[in-house]
Amino acid sequence: MKPRVLQKGAYQPALEKALAEQFDVHQLWKETDQAAYLSAHGSEFVALATSARWGADAALIEALPNLKVISSFGVGYDTIDVNAAAKRGVLVGNTPDVLNDCVADIAFGLLIDVARGISASERFVRRGDWQSGAFALQTRVSGKRLGILGLGRIGRAIAKRASGFDMDVRYHNRRRLEDVGFTYEASLADLARWADFLVVASAGGPETRHLVSAEVLSALGPQGFLINIARGSVINEAALVDALVNKKIAGAGLDVFANEPQVPEALLTLDNVVLLPHIASGTHETRQAMADLTLANLRSFFAEGRLLTPVS
């Protein structure tokens, strides 16, 4: 018999088809009363297929008493209660590495866009404003100082791209890394004070919540730009809105927000911020690779009792 897998939310059709071919899948997201369904059938499932968006809280894990493995579509796992899973001996897998390049590409796309006013100048042309005068001068990118919050896999891919723009790179982590040549800043505020551009590439979750505070934004200053391709929770969004509206920082490029898909209304009319709908990994190639790894983790568990990419 095929292993019984609970699918929490809707995937792309190709991944759903592959899951259904290889496993006995039930799509929880189609149940009108999910709690009642879990109460009646939760013990049937040994695996949970979820995503970084849907996660798996302690209540869901508790509702699946025979759960052995969680395979998540996405690199972030702050929405999964990994401690609750560990207490139950449940393995958790994600899809790292396969999305590094596309996320780093978007980080640099946002950086160049907000610094050079690409989206703003495109709107300028569409409105017909070019007929009345030239677009305002913007900010150079090449040769500037790039600060990276979180020099993990994606942070390193961003730093690699910075070399092509002759940028000086420094970083802030919980601890100094021994295998990189970039300067480490022990204080995030000091990194922001030094940087022309501060890119947020850290993990989400309680440990990094509002790490980019009003104090950090003040240190970045009126000539500095903020880029976020990590999690909206890492930034104090109210402080960021204030900083952008009142030009306490020069601008921001944002792919993630605190309460997606809700975007602060105050940002919608500003030309010093570029707003994207959480698309950093949104390419055909990367999403296929993520789907393949989500499946491969499940296959590996049921064949060998291990995951190819466990979260720890």
Residues catalogued as catalytic: 231, 260, 278
CA nearest to 253, candidates 92, 139, 129 = 139
Alpha helices per DSSP H over the chain: 13-22, 34-41, 58-62, 82-87, 100-116, 118-126, 153-163, 188-194, 214-220, 237-245, 284-304
- DSSP letters, 45-94, are -SEEEEETTT-B-HHHHHT-TT--EEEEESS--TTB-HHHHHHTT-EEE-
290: its two tokens = 């993520």
Tokens coding 71: 């395979």
Under 8 Å between Cβ of 65 and 89:
no
